[in-house]
Amino acid sequence: MTSESSVLGIGSALPLALMLLALQVLPASAVQVDRPNLSGSWVLNEEESDNPREQMRPASGSGMQGRQGGGMRGRPPGGDPRGDREQMRRLMEGPHAFKILQDDSTVTIVTEDGMRLVLFPDGQEREDLVEGLGATKLTADWQGGKLVVARKSDSGPEATQSYELSDDGGQLVVRVRIEHPQMPRPIEFRRVYDPSDDAA
């Protein structure tokens, strides 16, 4: 009788254990489902996008250009001015077209010139080494319906880029915020991308 009760006890405990396991798994699955699918090829819509140069003028008028008369020359010692200027150029211009490949654990961005950036949106800081630009620290994470990517370096520009679909899902909106030690304030602008079959 004791043996039979023990078997029954184990049997009745199994469904409860499975239910508890399901409750632990479901929230993570739900979060995964809520993440937008950014996959596809995207091409810049210049008419709907901001002109970052217009944002740059007031930010630098009394800042690094006003003081130095030459953009990025007045940097803290020990930095790389050429790499600094190239990082700023890339951040300001952005890709004209690119492709996003997305799976459960990574988001890969492939630009039209063949550059590939693999993001792990888990909030962990990683080092990103780009030829000619040096190393920067890179963090990617899902924040609501946005993929937020933050870059920072010891003395150069720091940037935050968020990728999100428009309300109707027909466009990709990239919002950019750039800070630099030689700029009096951050600059912010957005780029709008339309879907394209052969964007990248």
Q: What are the residue boundaries of the structural domains of the chain, listed by start?
A: 39-195
Q: CA 130, CA 134: separation in Å to the nearest integer?
A: 6
The continuous run of DSSP H or E covering 107 comes out as strand 107-111
Above pLDDT 90, what percent of the chain? Answer: 45
Cα Rg, the chain, nearest whole Å: 23
Phi, psi of 33 (to 5 degrees): -65, -35
pLDDT at residue 71 tops 60 = no
pLDDT at residue 200 tops 70 = no
99 in Cβ contact with 40 (< 8 Å): yes
Determine the number of helices (DSSP H) and then strands (DSSP E) in the chain: 4, 10
Q: What are 109-137's pLDDT values in tens digits? A: 999 988 899 999 999 999 887 665 567 89
Mean pLDDT over 150-162 rounds to 87
Q: What are 3-27's pLDDT values in tens digits? A: 544 444 545 455 555 555 544 544 4
Question: So what CATH class is 39-195?
Answer: mainly beta
64 pLDDT band, cuts 50/70/90, is: very low
Mean pLDDT over 169-194 rounds to 93
Candidate from 21-30, 77-86, 104-113, 190-199 with smallest mean pLDDT: 21-30
pTM comes to 0.71
